[in-house]
C-alpha cells in the first residue's frame, strides 16, 4: 500500500498561514505549478467496468452531480459506432448472470443494449470428458412446472455492452462529465500544495497525453478526489497506489470463436429454451464450452495448453470445426491424437479432410453421451483468436483516494464465466459506497468511506476466483485415477442433491 503522504502525517497548519510561510519558496520553484483540473471521480479505463461505474454514478440522483472523467486509450467513437448484422457476432462474448443484468437494468443501461443480440439460456450441461459424469444446472427444482424457466445467464457481446453503456452515459447529458477517449495516462503522481489553490499533495494528479489525433480541449493535468482503476490486468493505477497483487499464469490459452450450429436433433422444451454446454478435457488442459447466441449461433471458449491453442488457430476452418465437434464427442485418447496430427506437406485440401474423416470414423465407434450440443457447421471468418489465462488478485482494492474495479483488482480463470460478473459486482458495490459517502457528507476519496467497498467485494471475489482455480486444478488431472473417481463422485452427488446445487447456483449468481 502507498505510504501515507507527508501531508497526512504532519501537524495541521491552516492554509492561510501556510501560504504566508511557503510563498517565497514556491515562487522560485522550478516546477511550473499550474493548478490541475479537479474532478470528483476519475476513472481510468473505458471497458465494461469503467463505463459501468460511470453509468451507475450518472444514474443515481445522489451522484449524478459529481464531476466525473473517464480516460480511455482506445477510440470510443469506434465503440459507439460498432454494429454487425444479425448473422455475425463478435468473438468477445461474456455471460451475464441475472444479478448483473438486474444491475444494468437498475442503472438504465439494459434498454440501451441491442437485446436482439443477447441470448438467454435456461440450462447448462457440464460433464467430465474422462469419466462422463455429468451435472445439469437449471432452476427447474425451484420453479413450478407452469412457469417459464428462469435464465441461468445471458450471453452478451462485450462490444454490445460497451456501446449500450456509452449510449446510457450520453443520454445522461454532458454536464459535469468529460470523456477523454484516445488518451493515455502518461503519469500519475501526488499533486503539490498550491500556495493559492487547494492542497493537492495527497491527491493523485494524472498527466494526460493525446493519442494520435489530438483533442483541442484536452487538459494536460487532472486531479482526482477519487481515482478509480478500471484499467485491466497491468493497471497503472494499481502500480501508482502501490497495491500488491498475487497470482500466477495458468500456461493456458482460451481459444474463442463464433460458430454457427446445425439445427438441433430434438426440439427443446419449452420451445426457445437454449442450453450452454461445457465439457472438461483433463488431458488437453481445460474445459471447452459452447455458449448460445441468437439465430442458432454459438460462441466457443476452449481453455487449453498454449501449444494446443496455437495448433487450433493454425487449422483450416473445416478442420477447426471438426476439432470442435470432436471436443464434445470423442474420447480423450482420440482428441490427444487429433491434436498432434501432422499437416501433410502436399496440399491443404487433403489436410482438411483428415480431421473430418477422423471424426466421422471415430463417431461410429464412440458411445455418445446423452446430451451433446448440436453439430457445429460453420465458423465465422476471422473470429478464431486466443488470450492467455491468468489468475491475479490485488491484496486490497483501496488506498487513499484510489479504488480498483474489474480486471485491475482480479483476473480469474474463465471456466465459470464469472470474470465480467465480478467486475459488475464491484461496480455496483463501489457506486453504492460513493452514494453513501455523498449522502452522508463524507469525502468520497477517504479511505474510511471506501473501506465498505473492499470489505464487501474482496472476500466474494477471492471465493469465486479460488473456486475456479480449484476446479481448474481438479479437472487437469488426466486419466482414470483416484482424483478422477473422486471428482466424478462429487459431481454426481451434487447433481442429485437439489438443495446443494441450488446453493451453488445462488453463490455463482452473486
Partner 1 sequence: MSVLRRRGALSLRELSLSTPVTVVSCRARSFSVNNRPPPKYPGHVPLNFVERGALAVGSAVGALLNPRRADLIAACGEATATPYFIYRLRDAMLSDPTGRQILRERPRITSETLPLPYLRSLPENSVGRTYAAWLDREGVSPDTRDNVQYIDDEECAYVMQRYRECHDFYHAVTGLPTFVEGEIALKAFEFLNTLIPMTGLSMFAAVRLKPAERERFFALWLPWAVRSGLASKELINVYWEKILEKDVDELRGELGIEKPPDMREIRRMIREQKKREKERLQQSA
Q: Which is nearer to partner 1, 34 or 368 (CB)?
A: 368
Q: How far is the CB of 319 from partner 1 (least distance, A)?
A: 17
Spell out the alpha helix ranges (H) of 398-497.
Answer: 419-439, 447-474, 482-496
Q: Under 8 Å CB-to-CB from 275, ≥6 apart: which residues?
A: 121, 122, 123, 124, 125, 268, 292, 371, 373
Interface segment toward partner 1; rule CB under 8 A; list 43-51, 163-171, 327-335, 452-460 = 327-335
How many chain residues bind partner 1 (CB under 8 A)? 8
Q: How far is the CB of 498 from partner 1 (least distance, A)?
A: 24
Helix orientation angle between 98-106 and 419-439, rounded to the nearest 10 degrees? 40
Q: Which three cell numbers stand for residue 88?
A: 455475425
Write the burial class of residue 477 (CB in 10 Å: 0-12 exposed, 13-18 middle, 19+ buried): middle
Block residue for cell numbers 486419466: 479
Q: Which three cell numbers stand for residue 256?
A: 474463442
Q: Which is nearer to partner 1, 367 or 441 (CB)?
A: 367
Strand partners, 343: none
Q: Which is nearer to partner 1, 192 or 325 (CB)?
A: 325
Residue from 40, 120, 334, 435 in contact with partner 1 (CB under 8 A):
334
Taking the C-alpha atoms of residue 446 and residue 408, their distance in angstroms, rounded to an integer, is 20
Interface segment toward partner 1; rule CB under 8 A; list 197-205, 330-338, 378-386, 483-491 = 330-338
Task: Report whether 407 contacts 234 (CB < 8 A).
Answer: no
Q: Which is nearer to partner 1, 239 or 336 (CB)?
A: 336
Residue 336 sits in the site that holds partner 1 (CB under 8 A): yes
Q: How far is the CB of 362 from partner 1 (least distance, A)?
A: 8
Which of the residues 350 through 409 are near partner 1 (CB under 8 A)? Answer: 361, 365
Is the N-terminal amide bond of 270 cis, ω within 30° of 0?
Answer: yes
Q: Which is nearer to partner 1, 336 or 390 (CB)?
A: 336
Taking the C-alpha atoms of residue 184 and residue 236, their distance in angstroms, rounded to an integer, is 11
Interface segment toward partner 1; rule CB under 8 A; list 33-41, 187-195, 216-224, 333-341 = 333-341
Residue 333 sits in the site that holds partner 1 (CB under 8 A): yes
Residue 485 sits in the site that holds partner 1 (CB under 8 A): no
Task: Report whether 189 contacts 201 (CB < 8 A).
Answer: no
Helix (H) or strand (E) holding 126: strand 123-128
Q: Which is nearer to partner 1, 19 or 283 (CB)?
A: 283
Which of the residues 441 through 480 are near partner 1 (CB under 8 A)? Answer: 480
Residue 331 sits in the site that holds partner 1 (CB under 8 A): yes
Residue ranges binding partner 1 (CB under 8 A): 331, 333-334, 336-337, 361, 365, 480
Amino acid at each position: 500500500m502507498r505510504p501515507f503522504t507527508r501531508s497526512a502525517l504532519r501537524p495541521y497548519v491552516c492554509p492561510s498561514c501556510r501560504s504566508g510561510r511557503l510563498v517565497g519558496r514556491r515562487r522560485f520553484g522550478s516546477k511550473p505549478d499550474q493548478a490541475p483540473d479537479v474532478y470528483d471521480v476519475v476513472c481510468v479505463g473505458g471497458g465494461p467496468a469503467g463505463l459501468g461505474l460511470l453509468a451507475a454514478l450518472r444514474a443515481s440522483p445522489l451522484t449524478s452531480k459529481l464531476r466525473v472523467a473517464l480516460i480511455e486509450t482506445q477510440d470510443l467513437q469506434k465503440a459507439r459506432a460498432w454494429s454487425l448484422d444479425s448473422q455475425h457476432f463478435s468473438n468477445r462474448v461474456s455471460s451475464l448472470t441475472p444479478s448483473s443484468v438486474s444491475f444494468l437494468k437498475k442503472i438504465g443501461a439494459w434498454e440501451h443494449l441491442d437485446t436482439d443480440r443477447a441470448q438467454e439460456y435456461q440450462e447448462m450441461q457440464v460433464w467430465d470428458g474422462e469419466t462422463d459424469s455429468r451435472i445439469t444446472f437449471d432452476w427447474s427444482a425451484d420453479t413450478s412446472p407452469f412457469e417459464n424457466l428462469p435464465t441461468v445467464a445471458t450471453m452478451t457481446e462485450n462490444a454490445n455492452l460497451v456501446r449500450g453503456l456509452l449510449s446510457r452515459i450520453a443520454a445522461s447529458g454532458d454536464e459535469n462529465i468529460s470523456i477523454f477517449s484516445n488518451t493515455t495516462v502518461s503519469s500519475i503522481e501526488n499533486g503539490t500544495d498550491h500556495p493559492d489553490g487547494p492542497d493537492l499533495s495527497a491527491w493523485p494528479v494524472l498527466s494526460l497525453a493525446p493519442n494520435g489525433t489530438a483533442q483541442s480541449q484536452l487538459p494536460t493535468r487532472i486531479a482526482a478526489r477519487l481515482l478509480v482503476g478500471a484499467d485491466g490486468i497491468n493497471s497503472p493505477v494499481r502500480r501508482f497506489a502501490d497495491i500488491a497483487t498475487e497470482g500466477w499464469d495458468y500456461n493456458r490459452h482460451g481459444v474463442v470463436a463464433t460458430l454457427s450450429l446445425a439445427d438441433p436433433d430434438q426440439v427443446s422444451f419449452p420451445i426457445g429454451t437454449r442450453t450452454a454446454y461445457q465439457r472438461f478435457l483433463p488431458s488437453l488442459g481445460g474445459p471447452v464450452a459452447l455458449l448460445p447466441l441468437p439465430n442458432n449461433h454459438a460462441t466457443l471458449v476452449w481453455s487449453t495448453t498454449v501449444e494446443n491453442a496455437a495448433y487450433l488457430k493454425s487449422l483450416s476452418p473445416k478442420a477447426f470445426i471438426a476439432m470442435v465437434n470432436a471436443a464434445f464427442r470423442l474420447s480423450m485418447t482420440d482428441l490427444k491424437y487429433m491434436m498432434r496430427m501432422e499437416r501433410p506437406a502436399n496440399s491443404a485440401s487433403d489436410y482438411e479432410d483428415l480431421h473430418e474423416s477422423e471424426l466421422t470414423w471415430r463417431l461410429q465407434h464412440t458411445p455418445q453421451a446423452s446430451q451433446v450440443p448440436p453439430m457445429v457447421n460453420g465458423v465465422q471468418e476471422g473470429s478464431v483468436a486466443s488470450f492467455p489465462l491468468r489468475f491475479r488478485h490485488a491484496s486490497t482494492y483501496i488506498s487513499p483516494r484510489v479504488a480498483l474495479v474489474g480486471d485491475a483488482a482480479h483476473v480469474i480463470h474463465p471456466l465459470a464465466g464469472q470474470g465480467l460478473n465480478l467486475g459488475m459486482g464491484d461496480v455496483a458495490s463501489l457506486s453504492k459506497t460513493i452514494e453513501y459517502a455523498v449522502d452522508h457528507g463524507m469525502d468520497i476519496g477517504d479511505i474510511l468511506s471506501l473501506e465498505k467497498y473492499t470489505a464487501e467485494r474482496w472476500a466474494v471475489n477471492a471465493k469465486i476466483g479460488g473456486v475456479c482455480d480449484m476446479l481448474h486444478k481438479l479437472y487437469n488431472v488426466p486419466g482414470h485415477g483416484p482424483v478422477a473417481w473422486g471428482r466424478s463422485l462429487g459431481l454426481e452427488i451434487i447433481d442429485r442433491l437439489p438443495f446443494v446445487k441450488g446453493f451453488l447456483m445462488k453463490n455463482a449468481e452473486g
